[in-house]
Chain A
Amino acid sequence: MTKKASREFGFETRMIHAGSQPEPVTGARQTPIYQNIGYVFHDTDHAASLFNLQTFGFIYSRLTNPTVAVLEERIASLEGGRGATCCASGHAAQILALFPLMDPGDELIASNRLYGGSITQFGKTFKKFDWRCTFVDVDEPENVRRALTPKTKAIFTESLANPGGVVSDLEALSKVAREAGVPLIVDNTMATPYLCPAFEHGADLIVHSTTKFLSGNGTSQGGCVVDSGRFDWAQNDKFPSLSAPEPAYHGLRFAESFGDMAYTTHAHAVGLRDLGATMAPMNAFQTLLGIETLALRMERHCANALGVARFLEAHDQVAWVSHAGLESSPYHALGKKYLPKGAGSVFTFGVKGGYETGVKVVESCELLSHLANLGDARSLILHPASTTHRQLTDEQRAAAGAGPEVIRLSIGLETLDDIIADLDQALKRAA
């Protein structure tokens, strides 16, 4: 019986095993789908302990569910975090992540290149909670520093931006966040933990739309908030939900009672309890199946995407290609630093001819699917200006890299030559 800790398991082992030991009663090896809501208490004292958060266990599936918990632990393990909270969608994850940090009148600083749906959620819907978001160009960390006020409660960016090719300098942003005493929240959806270990680069919290590469098949909606466990919520008085007595739990202070587990405990016991955006057990199961092959898929996604990017860059009808894996990209060096295994498979290119030509290329594809999702095994194509980014202003679209000539690709796992052939014929038909 050695006192020293045993060796750590590798990423691929954890993507298959983390969180999922054999079910002890039946021996079932694959994670069971607990399509179940309530959990029997041993007695009233046990129930009281559970409701008081004095013991571990299940009460009601809006808060925690055994199948969802396996997915939470698996994502926490892959990200190298302390704990994770899954929820109904990536958008739900963004609300859930900010909920313990923000009070009415508080501020958030976010990248102006976030996914268009996030810009709408942060800029419009959050206003109804009186959460105020300032969007800045995070390529220059000074912009973030200048936007800080005493009301700022978080800095939010994507490690690899959707729609295309933009990589955040996480270490520089983390330095600004640390000096301000607020957490850096990183959306790691496009990169996944396989390509970008964001906690190692200074992220304090990570959010995911698990709908994308983690599930990998376009079947199951989901989101996740992962806590590094490293942010000290009691270092200042900015985060009373975590550091001050919580009336609903009779004056318990989460940061004191749960230490590095405070954030994730709060996200379940208060966040999911009251926001109610719970992940369905079936979706957790499908996402777990997807994650079992994450590393293999990401390698092929990246190789195919770089092949397509190089083909497009050499094409007469293409004005530009924005993929951090290309030497021509202004984000190439950041990509090498933060995404050394590959710069992802979601990127944009500009067609010569503008809006009309862009629409025609998209409509002429026969193998690539014209739809609004990402990270599927299938290659996907979209014209952001007419779809996902249509609710933005022209200026916001330009800042987000979603101008009129822009086409977004999410390159899948098909035979590379077939993806290229389909894009080639579509470009010819649009010429």
Chain B
Amino acid sequence: MSEPLSYSNAYLLGILQGVRSIAMVGASPNWNRPSFFAMKYLQEKGYRVIPVNPRAAGQEILGETCYAALAEVPHKIDMVDIFRASDAAGEIVDEAIALKDKLGIGVIWMQLGVRDDAAAARAETAGLKVVMDRCPKIEFGRLHSELSWGGFNSGIISSKRRRTRIL
């Protein structure tokens, strides 16, 4: 077993505040799948989420066309969110590294339970930021007090008043 990963709140918040478009590899068209929950939530927060899944290619998921592979996405992508098993992550990471300049990819995010330390090292060497074994929905909620609404331990202690204004 490798050590659990830890990321500072500032690092995660920097990523979540910096990106606007996310390619979700492994997005599902089934409304009760975890990836569907995460995609819908991220859309509500203002992100554009592009689904990538060869089994749903050509279909629409939550109003967005699904593509078979990252290479087919005709838009700029700030972040690649990997919703696949750990053993499939390395190949997707390498694909993202190859496409990073063409698509503008700056961040690789692997979902809760997804981890490939070697692939992460390759991505970081290529200048990408990496997060593994985390869910962007949960982290967005945790960092903006929404997780706390459900009785969860956000780990956040702050006496700063949050500003209610546009970013």
Contacts and interface: CB of A to CB of B under 8 A. Distances in A.
A73 B153 contact: yes
B146 interface: yes
A213 B113 CA distance: 38
Given A1-B10, A1-B14, A3-B7, A70 B162 contact: no
Q: Which of B37, B153, B164 has the most CB of A within 10 A?
A: B153
B31, B147, B152, B158, most chain A CB atoms within 10 A: B152
B8 interface: yes
A223 to B, nearest CB: 13
Interface residues of B, number: 40
A348 interface: no
Contacts of B7: 3-5
A102 interface: no
A24 interface: yes
A64 B151 CA distance: 8
Given A55-B40, A56-B141, A268 B157 contact: no
Contacts of A169: none
B151 A76 contact: yes
Contact of A21 (B113, B141, B156): B156
Interface string B127-167: 00000000100100100011111111111111111111000
Given A21-B145, A55-B41, A6 B8 contact: yes
A84 B151 contact: yes
Interface residues of A, number: 53
A264 B146 CA distance: 15
A249 interface: yes
B149 A22 contact: no
A264 B14 contact: no
Given A3-B8, A24-B162, A24-B164, A54 B40 contact: yes
Nearest to B141: A56
B149 A56 contact: yes
Interface string A74-96: 00110001111110000000000
Interface stretch (A253-261, A295-303, A313-321): A253-261
B152 A6 contact: no
Interface string A379-405: 000000000000000000000000000
B151 A18 contact: no
Contacts of A70: 148
B34 A83 contact: no
B161 A57 contact: no
Interface in A54-77: 54-58, 64, 66, 68-70, 72-73, 76-77
B11 A18 contact: no
Given A249-B32, A256-B34, A83 B151 contact: yes
Contacts of B72: none
Interface of B: 6-11, 14, 31-32, 34, 36-37, 40-41, 44, 112-113, 135, 138, 141, 145-164
Given A24-B161, A84-B153, 19 more contacts: A3-B8, A4-B7, A4-B8, A14-B157, A22-B162, A49-B40, A49-B44, A54-B41, A55-B41, A56-B141, A73-B152, A73-B153, A82-B153, A251-B32, A252-B32, A257-B34, A257-B37, A264-B150, A268-B151
Across the A-B interface, the 3 shortest Cβ-Cβ residue pairs: A72-B151, A5-B6, A56-B146
6 contacts: A17-B159, A21-B158, A55-B40, A81-B153, A251-B32, A259-B135
